[in-house]
Chain A
Amino acid sequence: MISIVDYGVGNVGAISNMLTFLRIENKITSHKDQILESNGMILPGVGSFDKAMSKLNNQLALLNTIKFFAEESKKPVLGICLGMQIMAKESSEGIIPGLGWVNTQICKFANSYEVKIPNMGWRYVRLEKKDPLFDGLPFSSKFYFSHSYYMPLDQRYSIMTSENVEKFSAAFKNENIYGVQFHPEKSHAYGMKILSNFARISNG
């Protein structure tokens, strides 16, 4: 079973819709036992960094549960969009520290006349490293992105990249922790591949 953490920020419905369509057992939940007994955990997120972090900080039991899941149980975790960004140590979007599951800092795209911000729409991506999360993805895959902040490239963690004003991390991996900047739940067949791979990684 995959748990989709409901902490009051996010498009939980859309993620559950796709998993259900793929016949992957899933639960939108903020309940400690349900999260801990799940095989994989999805951390969604829409909105601003500080809002997401303060929502988590205000639900201490939930925060401790997801920390335990990621840091102690070391079961697979997938952050989506803002859910990926709050896994960083901090963000230039806010002042509240992130979860710190990946040693990096979220930056804002520089203003530019040539490229419009937010980075919104379908973007082709580049697979930088072979990973089970990408199994079966076609060579030129594209995903739906919608963000103004990004995770910078880092040789240690970046497994997929995309480009706007500059090249950025479209997906990262740090041990059991994955994060994707795009919305797999809104990326048709490409997104289905990512979510079904994550479920396979989690459910074994």
Chain B
Amino acid sequence: MDERRIIPILQLENGRFVKTKKFDLRNKTYIGDPINTLRIFNEFQLDEVVILDITASKLKKISIELLRDIASECFMPLTYGGGIQNLKDAENIISVGFEKISFNSQYLRNSTLISETIRSLGSQAVVCSIDYGWLDGGYRIFDHLSRKFTNIELENYLLQCTDLGFGELIITNIQREGSWEGYDIEGIKKICRLTSVPIIANGGAVNQTDAQKVFELSADAGVSSSVLFLKNESGVLVNFPFERRNQLELTYND
């Protein structure tokens, strides 16, 4: 298959894109203005984009106007996650031009909302964002809201997600996120064996070799990275070292 997807995951905070490191909100870099960033991604005809709003999760309030603006000139599949409280929220996000909405671990407490959303929008429109890591000799689910590990085992959680009918899983090893150490290949291998739902591997990617390793595990997996990917003229995806770019910008501003 030639349909492997490379998907940037962008985190919104107060209407700006930021990049975190190991899920630590104190350790983050400003990436850019959402509309401009998405415009560039659109021009490069990227496969897909995932937008997670950190502020919306905290305040339980979705910036629907911003999402509308983002979608208005973005002609690729868009996934949104953050602050979804009910089916109406989910439907509004779809109606402004997003394809998929993403729920994360905290929604475990409200599986009724998940089932209801899947029934209404279909599996293909509902994504589960799974944050996990290695703790005490096993993979455990990390809770987004409390920012702590739960005692839920990844294996059980995956079965639960598959049963609920999610159409896609974004799996993030939080210990790799922003680490530039490569994807958690062992973890991904395990997850691929446990579920038949398409997965998007996230966390730790540096370059195409990392992406290639995931594709070898599962032909139809997607890989994602919150590091900016840019396409060069030959259409090959390369990594943009934005840390260096920020330095350049600083110099430029001086």
- Please give the residue numbers on chain A whose beta carbons come within 8 Å of chain B beta carbons, in ascending order: 10-14, 17-18, 20-21, 46-48, 51, 82, 111, 113-118, 120-124, 142, 144, 146-148, 183, 185-189, 191-192
Contact = CB atoms under 8 A, between A and B. Distances in A.
Contact of B198 (A114, A116, A123, A189): A116
Contact of A17 (B97, B123, B124): B97
B13 interface: no
Given A47-B121, A120-B124, A13 B99 contact: no
A61 B20 CA distance: 52
A121 B73 CA distance: 20
A185 B75 contact: yes
Contact of A51 (B47, B98, B120): B120
Interface string B92-108: 00111111000000000
B125 to A, nearest CB: 6
Give the most central of A20, A47, A192: most B CB within 10 Å: A47
Contacts of B5: 121-122
Instruction: List the 6 closest pairs (A to B, CB-CB), nearest first.
Output: A14-B97, A13-B97, A146-B124, A116-B198, A188-B45, A47-B122
Contacts, number: 107
A116 B220 contact: yes
Contact of B124 (A18, A118, A186): A118
B45 A146 contact: no
Interface of B: 2-5, 42, 45, 47-48, 68, 71-78, 94-99, 119-125, 167-168, 196-198, 218-220, 222
Contact of A121 (B71, B97, B120, B222): B222
A183 B77 contact: yes
A46 B72 contact: no
A11 B42 CA distance: 19
A18 B96 contact: no
A122 B3 contact: yes
A192 B2 contact: no
A120 B167 contact: yes
Binding site secondary structure of chain A:
mixed
B192 to A, nearest CB: 9
A173 to B, nearest CB: 24
A114 to B, nearest CB: 8
Given A46-B99, A47-B122, A120-B198, 7 more contacts: A13-B71, A14-B97, A17-B74, A46-B121, A113-B196, A144-B76, A186-B99
A145 to B, nearest CB: 9
A117 B168 CA distance: 9
A154 to B, nearest CB: 23
B65 to A, nearest CB: 13
Contacts of B4: 121
A185 B98 CA distance: 11
Contacts of A121: 3-5, 47-48, 198, 220, 222
B2 A124 contact: yes
A120 B168 contact: yes
